[in-house]
Amino acid sequence: MKIALHGHYGYRRLVRSSIPSIVMMLVGSIYSVVDGLFVSNFVGTTAFAALNVIWPAVMIIGALGLMVGTGGTALVSMTKGMGEAERANVLFSMLIRFTILIAVVFMVPLYLLMEPLARMLGAEGEMVHQCVIYGRICTVGLPGFMLQMCFQSFYMTAEKPQLGTIMSIVCAVTNIALDALFIVVFHWGLAGAAAASMTACFVGGFFPLWYFRSRFNNSSLRLVRAPFERKPILKASSNGLSEYVGNISWNVLAICYNLQLLKMMGENGVAAYSVLLYYGYIFAAVFFGYNLTVTPIIGYNYGAEDKAELRSLLRHSIFLLLGLGSLMTLVSELLAEPAARLFVGYDPELSALTKHAIRLYMISFFIAGVNIFTSSWFTGLNNGKVSAVVSFIRNLVFELGFVFLLPVLIGPDGIWLAVDAADFCCLILSAALILAYRKRYGYGR
């Protein structure tokens, strides 16, 4: 089936169109998980905990690429919907250049500050050394990492989501093969895991940079000469602010979870939470892949002023995501024990803790998809402020608050239940915002 932004999207077309982006995100999440599998099973619990203590700090900077990409794809899609194809290419090119610039700007300070950063995040002793090794190698790879995240958002806008799927598979195979080589064969430990990941990111970031400039490019977007313009860069950044807030919130939350867990359960608590996050990444990738597909479609129809199609997209998306969420919650409950054994089966006590944590934490996936979609809905409508509010309140108000409140009220299980309570509260907020803006954007009746 031809992928295009225009035309009517019913359930079948939405599902078929989103499959390439969902597969792209699933494969991307899986190759991140592979690092954890190799490190946990071949390097040890301390290195595994160190990886997950320092990674959120690196991701807070790396997610700037996601911000530019998601915000930019809404702006570029809207411009295409208005019939301005050449202007869309200029905006696309400018935003890719801007991503490279901010990656280079942040590399040096992050590299130099890695050790004090690791200590600030709660690392002690050998864990500090492991954090610094992993974090500095990832910092050197920032340009490729940020470009990869940025381009992921533009594949659907370019009407080439299959290319994104292919790139994810290539990067996954690269990362897994190099993990096996560097960790198992060369015994490079955590440094090998970081080197494998960043090599894969360079492939995922710089190949599309070549492709969108080359004569082989048959997509609807092309990299052209484009000087920096302040207004569209600010517009794209504000559009994508919600995705950035959502991403850094996730990582700020991970830092807070780790601090709480180190205090209450030690390294085992951090290791269990790390498995839970990897497991959650895979399931959340379905929602994020769907949103990568639907956000440019929303932006296109908003630019074309097709209000009937906007109403249809909203209705179909909510029902699809509730169905997917129900299925994923059921599957996650069934797979909790195998997932725990896969990562930490060498430690029965840690495995039991991990299984218990997964079963409590993953209840949230029943409604999480609708909350994540609400943020993308407003991004597609080029309303970055409301989109950011949803992400900020969901993560840094509701969940962060419950992370510290619930353990006081109900004990250690409160840590694992915090996300469930947060998503329930956010669902009420999401419904209120969608209803409040229905007349302004014309998707209400």
Q: Which of 73-82, 242-251, 353-362 has the lowest mean pLDDT?
A: 242-251
Higher pLDDT pick, 183 / 333 = 183
> What's the pLDDT tens digit per position in 113-138?
999 999 988 888 898 999 999 999 99
Q: Is the pLDDT of residue 210 over 80?
A: yes
Higher pLDDT pick, 64 / 238 = 64
Please tell me the distance from the alpha carbon of residue 113 to that of residue 139, in angstroms, as a whole number.
Answer: 11
State the pLDDT confidence band at 445, using cuts at 50, 70 and 90. low
Alpha helix stretches (DSSP H) within 122-229: 126-140, 142-157, 161-179, 190-211
Please tell me the distance from the alpha carbon of residue 413 to that of residue 435, in angstroms, as a whole number.
Answer: 34
Q: Is the pLDDT of residue 4 over 80?
A: no
The percent of residues above 90 in pLDDT, for the chain, comes to 46
pLDDT of residue 1: 47
Please tell me the distance from the alpha carbon of residue 106 to that of residue 70, in angstroms, as a whole number.
Answer: 20
> What's the pLDDT tens digit per position in 345-386?
778 888 888 898 989 988 898 899 999 999 889 988 888 788
User: Could you tell me the end-to-end alpha-carbon distance of the chain, in angstroms, rounded to an integer?
Assistant: 32
Which is it for the CA torsion 190, 191, 196, 198, positive or negative? positive
Q: Give the CA diameter of the chain.
A: 63
CA-based nearest residue to 60, from 129, 119, 117, 137? 117
pLDDT (mean) for 287-302: 88
Higher pLDDT pick, 294 / 265 = 294
